Amino acid sequence: FNKMEKTITFDYALRSTWQSVSNMYNKAACKFDSTMATGFALLSIEPEGTPSTALGPKMGMENTSLSRLLNSLEERNFIERRPNPEDGRGRLVYLTKLGLKKREISKKIVLEFNKSISEQLNNSEINTFFKVIDCINKQSQNILIQDKNGN
């Protein structure tokens, strides 16, 4: 690690891997007239309804992007938004019958990919992967908190 070569930094490995996975998911989604973002949104919406305000943080999306995505999903009849019975100001997002069908397709693609990876690794390697990912996530969150606090 003496040289900061892009091929050996954690962020480069994450970005390049995520780009590859994203391209793979978009290619698969394209076969179903969809996108990775659409599939991810459908998988993030609970069958009993999800507050639209909870989707942004759950999906790691900014409000503007999420709003555009939800509008698109509603136009395509994948979701419907209804008033939240427990909070008159809020709205819940529900999957339509078509949305549920598209969600199952997305779920199948994700599970097949995860199975293909799991078949190539043993339990120790899988546990190590998640331990490293958790470490990276916690460290990046700690840095964000420090920056927010002016440290």
Helix (H) or strand (E) holding 64: helix 63-75
Specify whether the CB–CB gap between 113 and 63 falls below 8 A: no
Q: Stretch 74-82: mean pLDDT, rounded? A: 96
Averaged confidence pLDDT in the chain: 90
| pLDDT beyond 70 at 98 | yes
pTM across the whole model:
0.81
**Measured between alpha carbons, how far is 125 from 106 in angstroms, rounded to an integer?**
26
What is the residue whose two structure tokens read 């394209």?
A: 30
Give the number of C-alpha atoms closer than 13 A to the C-alpha of residue 80, restricted to the C-beta side: 7
pLDDT for the residue 126:
97
In this prediction, residue 48 carries a pLDDT of: 87
* Reported confidence tier of residue 3, pLDDT bands at 50, 70, 90: low
- pLDDT exceeds 60 at position 39: yes
Q: How far is CA 125 from CA 18, 31, 130, 142, in A?
A: 19, 32, 9, 26
Number of continuous H segments (helices) and E segments (strands) in the chain: 6, 3
Report whether pLDDT(146) > 90.
no
